[in-house]
Structure 1
Amino acid sequence: MPPRPRGATQAPRLSLQPPQNVAVIMEPHLLDGDNREGEHYERLALDGQELAGITLQECVLEGVSMNDTELRGARFIECAFEDLFAPVLRASRSSWRETFLHSTRWGSAELYDSRFDRVHLDGGKLDYVNLRSSRVTDVLLTGCIIGELDLTGAKATRVALRDCTVGTLTLDGAQLADVDLRTSSFRSINGLDGLRGATVDEYQLQVLAPYLAERMGLRIEG
């Protein structure tokens, strides 16, 4: 393998594998603080339940609704989500590790003070994703439509947004390293100083140029 060019943006380090030999659970009774492993939940409604501190490891969740479910401090390890539905997702201080999410539909996702490690979010529509003060490492987003992605005060390392459409990207106080924004579009970006450590393509740079010039107090005259 040829050496990586000096200064090239590092891609997220992902090697996700789907959970194997999971047991289908028809009517699970999940409680806050539970530790469940190797289970498959399908077409399950967990709306409004108190599941703070729950741990799911090597589990598959397919067509599960978590609207207004209390998931504060929850841990998802080596899990796979398909069609996760939550107009209101309450998962502050949660942990997501080596997990794949496909076709996610979130309204307001309260994920502040959380940790995302080796996570792939593929497709889906998310209105507001609050990752304030979170640690996001080796995360890939592909083909997502996001109304607002709030990374205020977050630490993001080896994160890539590919073919995503984002309304507002908020980066006030963010610390970015190897964050790849190429191929994605943004209507507006708040906290331009937080872009340090990000990679953009030539078209994105042209779009950003007037805002960067204004930030630096440059006058542009033809």
Structure 2
Amino acid sequence: MTPPRRSAVRSAASATGGTDAPRLDVVDPRGLVDLGADLLGPHDSRELERYVDADLTDRDLEGASFAECVFEAPRLGSARLRGARLVESVLSDSFAPELAAARSTWRDVRVERPRWGSAELFDAELRSVRIVGGKIDFLNLRGARLTDVVVEGCSIGELDLGGAETMRVAFVDCRIGTLDVTRASLAHTDLRTTEFAGVDGFEGLRGATIDHLQLSLLAPTMAAHLGVVVD
């Protein structure tokens, strides 16, 4: 497997005030073989392959491993990816009403323009991952571990980071409906350029960076949560 190029990619929200920006490696798989996805199955180990318009609806890919692979416009409806591994790979224009990827591993991965309904990535591990654009109705990262992750220009209806551990994570120019950080452990997590309508588990925001406007918008809800009367 070709070692990833180590030139770091900085998030659009530059680090200030002691908040470290994510450090991302360039993901650019080359020398790929174009294959059909008909024979993919659980616990497969694939490397240096490209799949175009692959229909993986209802496919059992539990424990499968993909290294330096590219998936272009895959259909992932009800695909079972529990415990799967994606390393130095690209996933573009993917469609999944339900994405079942609990306890999966994503390392040096670029996800472009996902259209996901319910994305179950609880207890997953994401390291050096960039998600760009797209729309996700419900992103369940409860109990997940995120290190050097950028989510940019993405619309997320509900983001569940309950119990998650994050380090150098940035949400850049995103729109989030409800953000749940109950019992989360956030370190160097940048939310400054992102809009969110509501936050559950305010205590879990410890370690995150927000801007003054976000603080003013959250103030009434925070006061009510703390039982503070503002008169």
Tell me the TM-score range normalised by the shorter chain. Answer: over 0.9
Secondary structure at the residue paired with 2:26?
A: coil
Match for residue 35 of structure 1 among 45, 62, 66? 45
2:37·2:55 contact (CA, 8 Å) conserved in 1?
Answer: no
Call closer, same or farther: CA 1:218–1:111 in 2, change over 3 Å: same
Please tell me whether the aligned partners of residues 16 and 99 of structure 1 are also in contact (alpha carbons under 8 angstroms).
Answer: no
Aligned residue for 2:123, secondary structure, equals coil
Q: Give a deviation string over 1:60-80, Cα, whole Å, max 9, x none.
A: 000101110111100000000
CA distance in 2, matches of 1:5, 1:165: 20
Across the aligned residues of Structure 1 and Structure 2, the Cα RMSD in angstroms comes to 1.5
Q: Is 190-199 or 22-31 further displaced after alignment?
A: 22-31
Establish whether residue 67 from structure 1 lines up as the match of residue 77 from structure 2: yes
| Gapped regions of structure 1 (runs ≥ 5) | none
The residue number in structure 1 matching 2:149 is 139
Letter in 2 for 1:46: L
**CA distances 1:21-46 after superposition (whole Å, capped 9, x unpaired):** 11111354101000000000000101
- 1:77-156 superposed matches below 5 A: 77-156=87-166
TM-score of the superposed pair, with normalisation by structure 1: 0.95
Supply the AA of the counterpart residue of 1:77.
Answer: V
Runs of 4+ in 1 over 6 A off after TM superposition: none
Q: How far has the Cα of 1:20 moved from its partner?
A: 1.1
SS of the equivalent of 1:189 reads strand
* 2: CA distance, partners of 1:61 / 1:207: 40
- 1:207 equivalent in structure 2: 217
Counterparts of 1:7 and 1:142, CA distance in 2: 21
2:184 aligned residue (158, 174, 177) = 174
Amino acid at match of 1:58: E
* Alpha-carbon distance in structure 1 between the residues aligned to 2:209 and 2:65: 35
Q: Which residue of 2 aligns with 1:189?
A: 199
Alignment length, in residue pairs? 218
> Secondary structure of 1:215's partner?
helix
- Alignment partner of 1:13 is 2:32: no
